[in-house]
Every structure is written in structure tokens, then in C-alpha cells.
Amino acid sequence: LNVSITADDETLCAGQSANLRVTSDGTAPFTFVWNQNLPANSTQTVTPAQTTTYQVTVTDINGCSGTDDITIT
């Protein structure tokens, strides 16, 4: 399963937020498991205090899964 995380901005100043979006080529519905204790959604708004890597594993209805990560600085 191909999974991709994109961000509207990967380099932030202190106090700024980034919107993360997950896309996948599998068959819906999907489940999303994020690190950093994020909710199980396909989109996230994050405001990291320091450089942070976010990782998501996506599983589709057929049980196929894939993982991707993105680092926000």
C-alpha cells in the first residue's frame, strides 16, 4: 500500500502550525495509526516545539498496510 504524508509547510517558526495530510492508493475505508499520540485521522494539525518526525501507518479494508513519515522543523 503506497502511503504519502504531505505538509503545507515543513519549516516552521516557534508557535506556528503545519497541516499534515495522508493519501493512499488502497481501498477505503482506512484506519490510521500515528506516532506522537495523534488521533486516528487522515489529517492532523501539529505545532511542534522542536524538530519532530511524524509517522503514520495506514491499513485499508483488505488488510494491506503502508507507512510514511515526515519531519517538521
Q: Look at residue 10 and tell me whether its pLDDT is greater than 90.
A: no
Residues 6+ apart with CB under 8 A from 39: none
Q: Look at residue 15 and tell me whether its pLDDT is greater than 90.
A: no
Query: 60 falls in which pLDDT band (50, 70, 90)?
Result: very high
This prediction has a pTM of: 0.91
Half-sphere exposure of 57 (CA within 13 A, CB side): 8
- Per residue in 24-43, pLDDT tens? 999 999 999 999 999 999 99
Query: 66 falls in which pLDDT band (50, 70, 90)?
Result: very high
Q: Give the end-to-end CA distance of the chain in Å, rounded to a whole number.
A: 27
Q: Look at residue 63 and tell me whether its pLDDT is greater than 90.
A: yes
